[in-house]
Amino acid sequence: MEKIKLDFKDSKYATGRRKTSIAKVWLKKGSGKIYVNGKNYEDYFKRASHKMQILRPFEIIEQPTEYDVRCQVIGGGHTGQAGALVHGISRALLLYDDNLKLTKVNTSGDEIWTRNLDNTENIIPADLTISSETIYYGCHTGREGAGDPFDYTCISLDTEANINWIKHYANPRGYSLEHIRNELYGIKANESSIYMFGGTGDESNYSAVNPPYESSDVWNGWVLQTDFNGDIIQSDVFCHDNVNTATEYGDLTEDGYVIFNDTDAQGDTEVGVIKVQINNNSNITKHPIILNKTIIKTINILGQEDRNNKNQIMFEIYNDGSVSKKFITD
């Protein structure tokens, strides 16, 4: 398997985080080489979706092969690690150009204009939506604190990219603000309000060991609804069976919204879909549709179904055909 030797003298350095995954990223001008834990990223990540995700920051700035990347990533599964790497690449790119850019194109894809937005607040862009001739730019913004904490951020702009307002949101569960990371992944708007979708978690489980805060080591999905002035209408957190959860995607329905949650810190083994109905009093009704994998058989290394599975390697076979290996002790 090919290993890549890159000279990263005079490179830009940034860290990226995604739930329990942490990426250290060195980035410099180059030819498009990406090097993760000593391997070509195409060898390290097996899923096509992860590979496409990693290239996305360079596609957004229309420079797909003009930078080289070296990354060390730990924690979580490949889904979380890919997200942490994207986060780190995005932050490193901002060190080359610290302006947010907004480009307007016509239906043929021809550029009409590009505006630079002064990025003095360490804003990391994620998504945008348009409602009633107003653009809402969804981001998350770094702030001082242990563990590299972040807040949700929404920027309201007119159709010529003039800023109306910028607002930040944090700490939906009431923990130690110095350590909470709130990562926004998507934003939608309808005729009456704005919805922000993402996750909220505690860096290094700080709140669990510093009373009076309860443990916040488990990530929660977070959906935030605001009015068009950015004032909060509703704030809801979601968690599945006390495992790390983040709202990766969300979309609006006639009477609420539907969210898709990634619900496993080790990645790729459990997802959840929840439909939320909101009545006229802003009360919500949740209709969970849990798409968990289920174990259909547990076998030992000889392929035998063995009820006495202590102190040996066992393989769990799931209903989607995937297999996980476990060692169970007394």
CATH number at residue 243: 2.120.10.10
Q: Could you tell me if 286 and 299 lie in one domain?
A: no
Q: Could you tell me if 115 and 250 lie in one domain?
A: yes
Q: Could you tell me if 147 and 24 lie in one domain?
A: no
Count of structural domains, the chain: 3
- What is the span of the domain harbouring residue 305? 295-328
Q: Could you tell me if 180 and 247 lie in one domain?
A: yes
Q: Could you tell me if 155 and 271 lie in one domain?
A: yes
Distance between CA 128 and CA 298 in Å, rounded? Answer: 45
Look up the CATH number of the domain holding residue 68. 3.30.230.10
262 belongs to a structural domain: yes
For the entire predicted model, the pTM comes to: 0.64
Q: Could you tell me if 82 and 113 lie in one domain?
A: no
7 belongs to a structural domain: no
pLDDT of residue 285: 57
Cβ neighbour number for residue 238 with a 10 Å cutoff: 20
DSSP secondary structure letter of residue 235: E
Q: Could you tell me if 157 and 116 lie in one domain?
A: yes
Token reading at 242: 């006390």
The dihedral built from the CA positions of residue 8, 13, 14 and 20, taken in this order, carries a sign that is positive
pLDDT of residue 208: 45
5 belongs to a structural domain: no
Q: Could you tell me if 209 and 112 lie in one domain?
A: yes
Residues of the chain scoring pLDDT < 70 = 1-9, 19, 97-99, 118-121, 145-148, 171-179, 202-218, 240-246, 248, 261-274, 278-296, 301-303, 306-312, 317-330
Burial label for 4, CB within 10 Å (0-12, 13-18, 19+), is middle
Q: Could you tell me if 174 and 280 lie in one domain?
A: yes
63 belongs to a structural domain: yes
Distance between CA 319 and CA 322 in Å, rounded? Answer: 7
Angle of CA points 71, 75, 81, to nearest 5°: 50
Q: Could you tell me if 31 and 116 lie in one domain?
A: no
For residue range 47-60, list pLDDT tens digits in order: 888 888 888 888 87
pLDDT of residue 41: 92
1 belongs to a structural domain: no
Token reading at 66: 């003009």
Q: Could you tell me if 130 and 184 lie in one domain?
A: yes
pLDDT of residue 134: 93
Burial label for 40, CB within 10 Å (0-12, 13-18, 19+), is middle
Distance between CA 298 and CA 318 in Å, rounded? Answer: 9
pLDDT of residue 318: 62
Q: Could you tell me if 139 and 69 lie in one domain?
A: no
